Chain A
Amino acid sequence: MASRRKITLDRRKVVEKILKDRGDILLVTGLGAPTWDAAAVGDHPNNFYLWGGMGGAVLTGLGLALAQPKRRVLVITGDGEMLMGVGGLATVAVQKPSNLAICIMDNQRYGETGMQETHTEHGVDLAAMAAGAGFQKYSTVYNNRELAEAIPVLYSEQGPVFVDVKVTDAPQPMTLPPRDGPMLKHRFRENLLGHV
């Protein structure tokens, strides 16, 4: 179990740092704040935002990673969303997609719905769960030094990798990306495949 350490990281800054030099990664975001975080850095045709399907972000990333083995796929999602589909970690670990990275914005809260505490507030350790599921590369990040170490892991370490970033629950302004599903799908595919 993770020992209690002070949580100071600001999620917006974390996501900005992660996405600053994104190269050609394909990004999948889980519903709610992780999607707003990515949108705040800037909308991008290689972003696929989930606006629903809670519990499905990691598995969406898995399917994409399997379909595009030459491209790096990054999933950024929340702790609540991750917990809802946490069995997906076992599915990912068994598939061993070397190009998939998962990054959790773990504010220990269900942010969207009123900041209720999630299971990670009460000792559930997502990185250790990923380890139990069979991930070889996993870590929990509490500060900028650890974040600086984790970012290259997300981009280039042999996957699947799992990084749980502990962030504060400070509310952030909402930055809304496009939400029309067919538009997001067409844009993403056209940019990736050259056709819709």
Chain B
Amino acid sequence: MATKKKKKTDWSKEVFKVLKKADIRQIAYVPDAGHTSLIKMAVADNAIKPVSLTSEQEGIAVLSGAWLGGEAGALLMQSSGVGNVINMLGMANECRFPLLMLVTMRGEWGEFNPWQVPMGQATETVLDAAGVIIHRADDPAEIAETVEAAAKIAFDSGRMVAVLIGQRVVGFKDWTK
């Protein structure tokens, strides 16, 4: 478990560098344990406006506004949040807003909570049905480059992209303590 922990912060650091390189100025989020360090880095960075949302759907709207106002942003959420954003994605799709979503997966690898499974299992299908380009990363070593590629296609080609970060990466939730 100790090595896993280390990897967890490492990939977050690399991803954050990628986000900085992509000149991300707004980071909207509903927390997930897997996003803990990214959120902390976003809050600590003066050039980034962190926006804590009550519900994930707000995030699609904020980032649409960010783009309209000339800034790039990213949305951090867990897979259950994908269920909350579907209708709002219609705007990003219709307007060809670039949209970068980093989704930490639940309900797949070693899930303990059965309630996470339906949305976790539906996440890819639902995003696909909504027209979102999906990149997956299941190895901590490949997350940063995946996010980099996703940011490029999002911002350079004006597309909605989700990077699904496998539950395997985040590790099992330890429910015993």
Contact = CB atoms under 8 A, between A and B. Distances in A.
B45 to A, nearest CB: 16
Contacts of A83: 54-55
Given A52-B116, A179-B114, A181-B114, A119 B54 contact: yes
B32 interface: yes
B114 A180 contact: yes
A176 B54 CA distance: 26
B33 interface: yes
A114 interface: yes
A142 interface: no
Contacts of A112: 33
Interface in B143-177: 175-177
A162 interface: no
Contacts of A95: none
Given A53-B115, A179-B113, A181-B114, A113 B33 contact: yes
Nearest to A53: B115
Contacts of B36: 113-114, 116
Interface of A: 31, 50-55, 83-86, 110, 112-114, 116-119, 173-174, 176, 179-181
A84 B53 CA distance: 8
Nearest to A82: B54
A119 B116 CA distance: 24
Interface of B: 30-33, 36, 39, 52, 54-55, 80, 84, 113-116, 119, 175-177
Given A55-B55, A118-B52, A174-B177, A110 B115 contact: no
Contacts of A51: 113-116
10 contacts: A52-B115, A54-B80, A110-B31, A113-B36, A116-B39, A117-B52, A174-B177, A179-B114, A179-B115, A180-B114
Contacts of B30: 84, 110
Contacts of A86: 54
A110 B81 CA distance: 15
The 3 A-B pairs of least Cβ separation, nearest first, read A52-B115, A51-B115, A83-B54
Contacts of A52: 80, 113, 115-116, 119
Contacts of A119: 52, 54
B130 to A, nearest CB: 20
Contacts of A174: 175-177
B52 A116 contact: yes
Given A114-B39, A119-B54, 10 more contacts: A51-B113, A51-B116, A52-B113, A52-B115, A52-B119, A54-B80, A86-B54, A114-B31, A179-B113, A180-B114
A55 B176 CA distance: 25
Nearest to A180: B114
A52 B84 CA distance: 13
A84 B55 contact: yes
A174 to B, nearest CB: 7
A173 B175 CA distance: 10
Looking at A55, A83, A114, A118, which has the most chain B CB atoms within 10 Å of its CB?
Answer: A114
B114 A116 contact: no
A181 B117 CA distance: 12
A72 B116 CA distance: 29
A113 B52 contact: no
B87 to A, nearest CB: 14
Contacts of B54: 83-84, 86, 119
